[in-house]
Amino acid sequence: MRSTKSENAVKWGLRAHAIAYAIAIPAQIIVWWTVTPEHFFWPLWPALGWGVGLACHALAVSSSKTRTGS
């Protein structure tokens, strides 16, 4: 069973990952919009790739909670 300190670290890690995603993806969209609005919407690819990574991180956190019974 995990200690409370490590459970909090896992939760904060996921939260930091989600906050970084929530800041970086809109920033990329703003760069795309101001620099190349007539071209292909390239921020889609980082958003999808990072979104998959974030979803995997969230699944890993939730599965570790069920394994430990939290």
Amino acid at 6: S
pTM for this predicted structure: 0.80
pLDDT in tens, 11-68: 899 999 999 999 999 999 999 999 987 788 999 999 999 999 999 999 999 887 666 6
Amino acid at 58: A
Q: Are 50 and 25 in contact (CB under 8 A)?
A: yes
pLDDT of residue 68: 61
CA atoms within 13 A on the CB side of 19: 6
Q: Are 23 and 46 in contact (CB under 8 A)?
A: no
Q: What is the dihedral of CA 3, 63, 8, 15, to 10 degrees?
A: 170
